[in-house]
Amino acid sequence: MDGAQLWQTLIQGVVQGITEFLPISSKSHLILVGKLLERWFGTTATSKETIELIVGLHLGTLLATIVVYWQDLWSLRKRHRLLLNVIIGSIPVAVVGLVFKDWLEQTLVSPLLVGLGLFITATFLFAGQRLEISLLELDQMKWPHALAVGCFQTLALLPGISRSGSTIAGGLMVGLTRHAATTFSFLLSVPAVGGVVLLKGLAMRHSNSLAIGQLLFGTVISFAVGIAALRFLIRIVTQRQLHWFAYYCLLLGTVVTAWQLWP
């Protein structure tokens, strides 16, 4: 790993660690930052290399989620109703992700789709905070609530649409409390992100384009930064401050869309 790759991976690891948990779409920021870094360092990453790096960075933030929520994850062995809801909520993204796998991978290199997706994320965040009912705790959820939040999660397969933003907003809209919506969002992320990382990791075993050292470095950086970002998000949601992220998504979406459509 040369100096340019080191700096690129460091920056993208920090970006992933922050944006995976804040409701502003980590994929969109990785795509945009990746394009800017390519221009800055004069390098060009293939679509395959981009996907491999994204997988490595997501492994880091997946481990951060497990560390922060290990007590909730461990308690699932006794909270059978919540475990069933996590399984039900994970079905939509698994089905859509497998059926449209090839097409979804092609969208990862489109900054224009990122810009448009950020507008959708902003809409979800505004709606979630405005339509918040705050009635149900985690163990009071029923399977239709879990399925609805799971459907919101499928939209985050598209670039620009935040997984945490869409699922937290979806949880608030179906009646979960802020704490329950945040916790369920990240409980859902473990099988969703873990499944993608596992499948991609198996596919990369014999044909990876990136150096193992580069992948491991990015994973460690995104893990360390991710723990701090996740704890920060938990405080933000409980303080009802999601609208600030909505404004950010609107601004960034406008800039990116104008950049792509400007003749």
What's the mean per-residue pLDDT of the chain?
A: 87
If you ran DSSP here, which 8-state letter would residue 17 be given?
A: H
Cα distance between residue 204 and residue 210, in whole Å: 9
The model's pLDDT over 90-104, given as tens digits with 9 standing for 90+, comes to 999 999 988 988 788
8 Å CB contact between 37 and 11: yes
Cα distance between residue 57 and residue 30, in whole Å: 10
The model's pLDDT over 25-62, given as tens digits with 9 standing for 90+, comes to 888 888 888 888 888 877 666 566 677 778 889 899 99
Is residue 215 packed enough to be buried (19+ CB in 10 Å), middle (13-18) or exposed (0-12)? buried
- DSSP of 35-79: HHHHHHHT----HHHHHHHHHHHHHHHHHHHHHHTHHHHHHTTT-
Longest dimension (CA), the chain: 58
Per-domain residue ranges for the chain?
3-261
The model's pLDDT over 196-249, given as tens digits with 9 standing for 90+, comes to 888 877 776 666 556 677 788 989 999 999 999 998 888 887 777 788 999 999
Radius of gyration of the chain (CA): 18
Q: Is the pLDDT of residue 70 over 90?
A: yes
Between 105 and 47, the higher pLDDT residue: 105
8 Å CB contact between 53 and 8: no
- How high is the pLDDT of residue 213? 78
Cα distance between residue 123 and residue 25, in whole Å: 13
- How high is the pLDDT of residue 48? 67
Closest CA to 25 of 114, 125, 151: 114
Backbone angles phi, psi at 262, to 5 degrees: -65, 125
